[in-house]
Amino acid sequence: MTEKEVDMATELLQFLELNERVNSISYAKTKNLEHQKIVGLIKSLQVHEGVIDASQKTDKNWVLSTEGKKLESSGSYEFNIFKRVPADGIAQSELVKDKNDKIGFSKAMSNRWIKVDKSGGAPKIFVADGVNPTDIVRDNLSRIKQGSPIPDKDRAELKKRKLVEEVTIKSFDVTKGEKFTTKIEKAATDLTAQMIQDGSWKTTTFKDYNYSAMGIKPSAGHLHPLLKVRSVYRQIFLEMGFTEMPTNNYVESSFWNFDALFQPQQHPARDAHDTFFISDPAECDTFPADYAEKVKRVHSEGGFGSQGYCYDWKYSEAKKNLLRTHTTAVSARMLYKLAKEGFKPSKYFSIDRVFRNESLDATHLAEFHQVEGVVADYSVTLGDLMGVLQAFFHKLGITKLRFKPAYNPYTEPSMEIFSYHEGLKKWVEVGNSGIFRPEMLLPMGLPEDVNVIAWGLSLERPTMIKYGIDNIRDLVGHKINLQMVQDNPVCRMDF
Ligand code: FB9
Q: What is the pLDDT of residues 268-283, one digit of tens each?
A: 889 888 999 999 999 9
Please give the Cα distance from 16 to 315 (Å, whole number). 99
Confidence (pLDDT) at 194: 95
Sheet holding 450-458, edge to edge: 243-244, 346-355, 367-378, 450-458, 426-436, 411-421, 401-408
Condensed to tens digits (0 to 9), the pLDDT of residues 421-456 reads 888 788 999 999 999 999 999 999 999 999 999 999
Contact 466, 225 (CB under 8 A): yes
Contact 276, 355 (CB under 8 A): yes
**Measured CA angle at 461 (ends 456, 467), to 5 deg:** 140
Q: How many CA atoms lie within 13 A of 51 on its CB side?
A: 22
pLDDT confidence bin for 221, thresholds 50/70/90: confident
Rounded to the nearest whole angstrom, what is the distance from the C-alpha of residue 278 to the centroid of ligand 1? 25
Confidence (pLDDT) at 228: 93
Asked whether the predicted pLDDT for residue 184 surpasses 90, the reply is: no
Choice from 430, 433, 435, 455 to test ligand 1 binding pocket (greatest atom count within 8 A of CB): 430
Rounded to the nearest whole angstrom, what is the distance from the C-alpha of residue 190 to the centroid of ligand 1? 58
**Measured CA angle at 142 (ends 111, 170), to 5 deg:** 125
Write the single-letter amino acid at 407.
Y
* Nearest alpha-carbon partner for 442 in 336, 358, 355: 336
pLDDT confidence bin for 495, thresholds 50/70/90: low
Is 200 in a helix, a strand, or coil?
helix
DSSP per-residue letters across 99-167: HHHHHHHHHHHHTTSEEEE-TTSS-EEEEPTT-----HHHHHHHHHHTT----HHHHHHHHHTTSEEEE
* Nearest alpha-carbon partner for 290 in 254, 257, 339, 334: 339
pTM for the complete prediction?
0.64
Beta bridge partner(s), residue 277? 322
Rounded to the nearest whole angstrom, what is the distance from the C-alpha of residue 348 to the centroid of ligand 1? 17
pLDDT cut 90: percent of the chain above it: 76
Confidence (pLDDT) at 185: 74
Q: Pick 158 or 485 by higher pLDDT.
A: 158
Please give the Cα distance from 238 to 377 (Å, whole number). 18
Please give the Cα distance from 272 to 39 (Å, whole number). 74
Mean pLDDT throughout 148-166?
93
Q: Is 308 left (phi over 0), alpha (psi -120 to 50) or beta?
A: left
**Neighbour-count burial for 39-74, b at 16+ CB within 10 Å, e otherwise:** bebbebbbebeebbebeeeeeeebebbeebeebbee
Query: How many residues in the chain?
Result: 495
Rounded to the nearest whole angstrom, what is the distance from the C-alpha of residue 417 to the centroid of ligand 1? 8
pLDDT confidence bin for 494, thresholds 50/70/90: low
Asked whether the predicted pLDDT for residue 417 surpasses 90, the reply is: yes
Q: Which ranges of 205-349 would DSSP assign to H, the alpha helix?
A: 225-239, 254-257, 289-300, 315-318, 328-341
Please give the Cα distance from 296 to 328 (Å, whole number). 19
Condensed to tens digits (0 to 9), the pLDDT of residues 303-344 reads 999 999 999 999 999 999 999 999 999 999 999 999 999 999
User: Exposed, middle or buried, 118 (CB in 10 Å: 0-12/13-18/19+)?
Assistant: exposed
Confidence (pLDDT) at 493: 74
Condensed to tens digits (0 to 9), the pLDDT of residues 83-136 reads 999 999 999 999 999 999 999 999 999 999 999 999 988 999 999 999 999 999
Confidence (pLDDT) at 250: 98
Beta bridge partner(s), residue 358? none
Question: Could you say which DSSP state residue 182 is in?
Answer: S
Nearest atom of ligand 1 to the alpha carbon of 374: 41
Rounded to the nearest whole angstrom, what is the distance from the C-alpha of residue 429 to the centroid of ligand 1? 7
Condensed to tens digits (0 to 9), the pLDDT of residues 461-486 reads 999 988 889 999 999 999 888 888 88
Nearest atom of ligand 1 to the alpha carbon of 429: 16
CB-based contacts of 157-162 (< 8 A; 24+ apart in sequence)? 158/68, 162/65, 162/67, 162/68
Rounded to the nearest whole angstrom, what is the distance from the C-alpha of residue 459 to the centroid of ligand 1? 8
Q: Are strands 346-355 and 243-244 parallel, antiparallel or unpaired?
A: parallel
Contact 234, 244 (CB under 8 A): yes
Average pLDDT value for the chain: 93
Condensed to tens digits (0 to 9), the pLDDT of residues 375-407 reads 999 999 999 999 999 999 999 999 889 999 999
Rounded to the nearest whole angstrom, what is the distance from the C-alpha of residue 461 to the centroid of ligand 1? 8
Could you give the domains of the chain?
A: 3-57+169-202 (3.30.1370.240), 66-160 (1.10.10.2330), 226-288+317-487 (3.30.930.10)
Confidence (pLDDT) at 63: 93
Confidence (pLDDT) at 283: 97
Count, in order, helices (H) and strands (E) of the chain: 19, 15
Asked whether the predicted pLDDT for residue 490 surpasses 80, the reply is: no
Q: Are strands 321-323 and 251-253 parallel, antiparallel or unpaired?
A: antiparallel
Q: Pick 29 or 293 by higher pLDDT.
A: 293
Is 365 in a helix, a strand, or coil?
coil
Nearest atom of ligand 1 to the alpha carbon of 326: 33
Write the single-letter amino acid at 344.
K
Query: Which residues line the pocket of ligand 1, CB cutoff 6 A?
Result: 328, 356, 370, 372, 396, 398, 408, 411, 428-434, 454-458, 461-462, 465, 493, 495
User: Which residue's CA is the closest to the ligand 1 atom numbered 4?
Assistant: 430
